[in-house]
Structure 1
Amino acid sequence: MRTLVTRLWTRLVGLIGSLGAWVRRHPVIPAHRLTQVAGLALLVLLAIGSGTTLMLDRIEAIPAGAAFRVDGTLVTESQLSDRVKLLGALYGVTPPTDPAKLDQFRRDSAKAVVVSDVLADASRAKGIVIADKTANDQLTQLIETTFPQGRDVFLRKLAGVGVTQEAVLGEVKAQLANARLYDQVTNGVPVPTDQDVEHAYQQHKAEMAVPEKRHLRNIVVAGQDQATRIRAQLAGGADFGAVAGQSSMDDSTKGKGGDLGTVTRDQLDKNYGDAAFTAAPNSVFGPVQTQNGWNVGQVLEVTPAVPLSLGQVREQLRASVLDQRKTDAWDTWLSGQLRTAHARYADAYRPADPDSATPGPNAGSS
């Protein structure tokens, strides 16, 4: 099971286009905002009937070279770029090359950073402090589990793209603080009763099963024409294992006749999985294109899905329902925080729904 920190980060990254957070009580208005709020309220009263929204937009206009303003702090395009660069170095977040997707990425990146800043303000307001040692220990653990070359190599690679160790530790501290904030916000969420769990089971009964598994063999080649010729060879009676040994580009399986072992559908590339799990037992399927090339596969054996009883999944389902309740409580709280922060975006960075805790279906549109 993923750690809380990982789940939170996934939600925050989800705000960056197709990226999924380490994100998580009552609206907080820092002291320096109180006079601003009072002043704006007075302006609203004076401007009733004469274009209030337009007047506020002009008063809070975002200057050239800036991406957004949140809680009175202006973030420039350069500062936003640095934050996105850090995400890229740590989590593989990279801007797309397609112009339409790049526009969405830019808007969702700005929103993700706004969310991060709003959460940092909320953590400070609640007195959440992460010690240097705690952050260092967490970073060491992350490196050991995801970067086998070691910490020194990791830090050198970061330095090569202009990211400092201090920036990395700052990010780790922020995510650990968000995890503690999440715990505080969701602390009062009620644990599901047995009746709640049974209701959830009935709603999702079709999904309560050990998934179907299939034993597969595969041949992968560079081009579609070659894959089509291989499919014809196999249809003519050629031995799959022998053809795999001669032709497949997958060095990890060609010596085993292309044997992929027994897998579930979600372990496979979507296109390949769709073909493999709709093919008849003992049949050959393909060609199917994946990121690795063109594939011709064979179904050797099918292990059907096995339904699970309520007794078998009760506690796992209870945990799942509780997790969803916490997520809903968190999203409601976070949306309130975003409304209170009153972020103002430059036109090119404004997301479709600035106050939503999660990306909307039209994220990136203006």
Structure 2
Amino acid sequence: MNLSGLRSVLGRGLTAVRRWPLLVPRGRARVVSLALSGVVLAGATTHVAVTWVTALPDNAVLRVGETVITEDQFQQRIGALEALYGVKVPQEGQQLEQFNRDAAKSIAVSLILDQAAHERGVVVAGKKARDALDKIIEEQLPGGRDDFVKFLSSQGVAEHDVLDEVKRQLATSRLFEQVTADVAQVTDKEVRQAYDERKKEMVSPEKRHLRNIVVKSKSQAKRLLDQAKAGTDFATLAKKRSLDQSTKNKGGDLGTLTADQLDKQYAKAAFNADKNSFFGPVKTQHGWNVGQVVAVTPAKQLSFDDVKKQLKAQLNQKRTLETWRAWLGNQITAADVEYADEYRPDNPDAPPTDTPPR
């Protein structure tokens, strides 16, 4: 992962949460995230109170209240981040400096959340954390616990460190539920008002059913395009010539997609072509492409009934998140956070955006 990738991770929630690739596949509606020790998903607008009055020890990265994180402890956590999530630490220069500032902020805010959970009596039993971890292993790893143990061994990570992270996530989730328990639900009248205000946005975009063939060269793609235009069955050409192993046996069928789901240049060609026509060659990172437009589903204005349920859920989520952000902002503002100069965040008041996992 490069610097921009890390900063994206650090900016979500409370800064650094990554899906564990061996355990949580893309596309799961409910994601169970494991985070680096001290790096917690929190999801809130925050205001970090930075104090420089009391000098930090020479080997300190930061201090929250009476808790000091030394450079050795900081590097241990970065090492866990590398092992668990594949994050690559820049070797030197401005990228390394920015990496360290982002990671330091992440750790500081996680300590504040830990203290808040303790003060509110939020405790996660070891058995509950283990049950949660066992469920993830069972559902996501084909080889079960054996694969899990092998992975930890290969990365030099102890299982108790992973369990600590599961506990932290569960505790943060409970904390979120406590803080937002009394948030009033959005009324139907408010949902209707929101729909009327955003009606122009309530549109199902145009979709296209596409077939595709990928080959190595532009000349190959041009020959296939000519054959398709001359009447050769496109699906047959795809089965014989396409390099895309995921679609070639389906005659190159990509399914029905919006332009946003496609490579930009490919989408431009596909959505400018007529129904039943062919397009290309188009170069993408996978090679040279020739496509066929099988069907076109026009854009459609969505009615209030079409979007009511989803819109209401979004509005409730927004209201809940605003309450969480306000609470968390107060917690961080009240905290006594100090950073060593080289670890002080660029924008300590920058607001993360997500909610804790639930």
TM range (shorter): 0.7 to 0.9
The partner residue of 1:234 within 212, 222, 225 is: 225
Give the match for residue 73 of structure 2: 79
Q: Secondary structure at the match of 1:318?
A: helix
Gap runs ≥5 in structure 1:
1-8, 28-52, 360-366
Structure holding more helix per residue:
1
Deviation of the 1:138 alpha carbon: 1.3
Deviation of the 1:192 alpha carbon: 1.1
C-alpha contact 1:67 1:76 (8 A) present in aligned 2: yes
How far does the alpha carbon of each residue in 1:256-279 deviate from its partner, in whole angstroms, 9 at most, with x for none? Answer: 332212234454455644554454
Give the match for residue 356 of structure 2: none
C-alpha contact 2:207 2:257 (8 A) present in aligned 1: yes
Gap runs ≥5 in structure 2:
1-8, 20-32, 34-39, 354-358
The partner residue of 2:121 within 121, 127, 152 is: 127
How far does the alpha carbon of each residue in 1:240-265 deviate from its partner, in whole angstroms, 9 at most, with x for none? Answer: 44443344221121223322122344
Q: Does 1:59 align with 2:54?
A: yes
Q: What pairs with 1:96-135 in structure 2 (closer than 5 Å)?
A: 101-135=95-129
Partners in 1 of 2:274 and 2:298 — Cα distance?
A: 13
Partners in 2 of 1:321 and 1:175 — Cα distance?
A: 24
CA 1:247–1:159 in 2, change beyond 3 Å: closer, same or farther? Answer: same
Give the letter for the 2:225 counterpart.
L
Deviation of the 1:210 alpha carbon: 4.0
Give the letter for the 1:148 counterpart.
P
Q: What pairs with 1:16-95 in structure 2 (closer than 5 Å)?
A: 16=16, 22-23=41-42, 57=52, 59-61=54-56, 63-64=58-59, 66-95=60-89
C-alpha contact 2:18 2:85 (8 A) present in aligned 1: no
Give the match for residue 284 of structure 1: 279
The partner residue of 1:148 within 120, 132, 142 is: 142
Q: Does 1:340 align with 2:348?
A: no
Identity across aligned pairs (percent)?
A: 42
Give the letter for the 1:15 counterpart.
T
How far does the alpha carbon of each residue in 1:199-239 deviate from its partner, in whole angstroms, 9 at most, with x for none? Answer: 221233234344432211222345xxx13641464157364
How far does the alpha carbon of each residue in 1:324-351 deviate from its partner, in whole angstroms, 9 at most, with x for none? Answer: 1111221222222222223222333322
Tell me the number of residue pairs that the alignment of Structure 1 and Structure 2 aligns: 319
How far does the alpha carbon of each residue in 1:102-122 deviate from its partner, in whole angstroms, 9 at most, with x for none? Answer: 543332222222222211111
Partners in 2 of 1:228 and 1:338 — Cα distance?
A: 60
CA 1:323–1:97 in 2, change beyond 3 Å: closer, same or farther? Answer: farther
Q: Does 1:158 align with 2:147?
A: no
Q: What pairs with 1:300-311 in structure 2 (closer than 5 Å)?
A: 300-311=294-305
Q: Secondary structure at the match of 2:69?
A: strand
Deviation of the 1:159 alpha carbon: 2.5
Give the match for residue 15 of structure 1: 15
Q: Secondary structure at the match of 1:60?
A: coil
Higher relative contact order (CA 8 A, sep 6+): 2
- Give the stretch that moved more between structures: 123-132 or 154-163: 154-163
C-alpha contact 2:269 2:280 (8 A) present in aligned 1: yes
Partners in 1 of 2:69 and 2:211 — Cα distance?
A: 53
CA 1:195–1:104 in 2, change beyond 3 Å: closer, same or farther? Answer: farther
Q: Secondary structure at the match of 1:74?
A: strand
Give the letter for the 2:158 counterpart.
T
Partners in 1 of 2:299 and 2:75 — Cα distance?
A: 47
How far does the alpha carbon of each residue in 1:301-328 deviate from its partner, in whole angstroms, 9 at most, with x for none? Answer: 1112333221232232112101011112
- TM-score, normalising length from structure 1? 0.74
CA 1:245–1:212 in 2, change beyond 3 Å: closer, same or farther? Answer: same
Partners in 2 of 1:219 and 1:14 — Cα distance?
A: 42
CA 1:101–1:249 in 2, change beyond 3 Å: closer, same or farther? Answer: farther
CA 1:17–1:163 in 2, change beyond 3 Å: closer, same or farther? Answer: closer
Give the letter for the 2:206 counterpart.
E
Q: Secondary structure at the match of 2:156?
A: coil
CA 1:18–1:153 in 2, change beyond 3 Å: closer, same or farther? Answer: closer
Partners in 2 of 1:100 and 1:304 — Cα distance?
A: 48
Q: What pairs with 1:248-327 in structure 2 (closer than 5 Å)?
A: 248-269=242-263, 272-273=266-267, 275-281=269-275, 282-290=277-285, 292-327=286-321
Give the letter for the 1:57 counterpart.
W
